């Protein structure tokens, strides 16, 4: 097994290789505006560090979000392209699950929250690092304050809204090494992973203006 994992659902542009037992190489850069520019060079660096070619990869793992439309689609399209070119399976994982896994043993139930912009967070509640107990959702922090009260909270969203998430923890962003390790663990157990399809939870920020008038030449 040699899994190539990528995620662009958060400001982190993150890539990792995992051999089924451990991370072989990884690259993590935080830049919310340069996902498309940074991802492929990061893949090249990781492969070079591991001393293997892309054709050695036996599966692709990709974070499916939730995340903003523009960044999220970069990772998903890249993963789909690699999968088609190599003839290998592409496995999807919820990005929040990767963050929860990376958090380790928090010591009881906790919340993962990432920045959804528009003064909202993407979030879900976890029983432990492997077990999500709610669906991923997008909400204003004040609207979920009662649901998350007193719980440790992982992710950038928790750091942005300390009035709601009163016990913030690291990591701030998801890293592909955690996604790859979680995917390897689930595959070894015979579990089914998600289809590599985006989990947006809401419409894109960029939309056609209302009352848009189409003008065609006569």
pLDDT tens for the chain, residues 1 to 218: 999 999 999 999 999 999 999 999 999 999 989 999 999 999 999 999 999 999 999 999 999 999 988 899 999 999 999 999 999 999 999 999 999 999 988 888 999 999 999 999 999 999 999 999 999 999 999 999 999 999 999 999 999 999 999 999 989 999 999 999 999 999 999 999 999 999 998 755 444 455 555 555 55
Angstrom distance (rounded) from CA 138 to CA 81: 29
d(CA 208, CA 97): 33
Rounded Cα distance, 5 and 82, in Å: 11
Whole-structure pTM value: 0.90
Q: What is the DSSP letter of 151?
A: -
């Amino acid at each position: 097994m040699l899994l190539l994992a990528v995620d662009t659902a958060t400001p982190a542009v993150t890539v990792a290789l995992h051999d089924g037992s451990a991370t072989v190489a990884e690259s993590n850069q935080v830049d919310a505006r340069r996902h498309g520019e940074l991802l492929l060079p990061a893949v090249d660096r990781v492969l070079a560090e591991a001393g293997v070619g892309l054709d050695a990869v036996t599966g692709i793992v990709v974070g499916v979000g939730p995340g903003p439309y523009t960044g999220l689609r970069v990772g998903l399209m890249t993963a789909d392209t690699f999968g088609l070119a190599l003839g290998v399976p592409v496995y999807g994982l919820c990005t929040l699950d990767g963050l929860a896994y990376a958090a380790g043993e928090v010591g009881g139930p906790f919340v993962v929250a990432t920045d959804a912009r528009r003064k909202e967070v993407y979030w879900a509640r976890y029983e432990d690092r492997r077990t999500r107990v709610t669906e991923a959702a997008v909400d204003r922090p004040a609207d979920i304050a009662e649901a998350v009260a007193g719980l440790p909270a992982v992710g950038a969203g928790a750091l942005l809204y300390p009035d709601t998430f009163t016990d913030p923890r690291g990591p701030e962003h998801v890293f592909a090494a955690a996604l790859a390790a979680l995917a390897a663990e689930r595959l070894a157990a015979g579990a089914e992973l998600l289809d590599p399809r985006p989990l947006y939870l809401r419409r894109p920020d960029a939309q056609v203006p209302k009352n848009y008038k189409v003008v065609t030449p006569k």
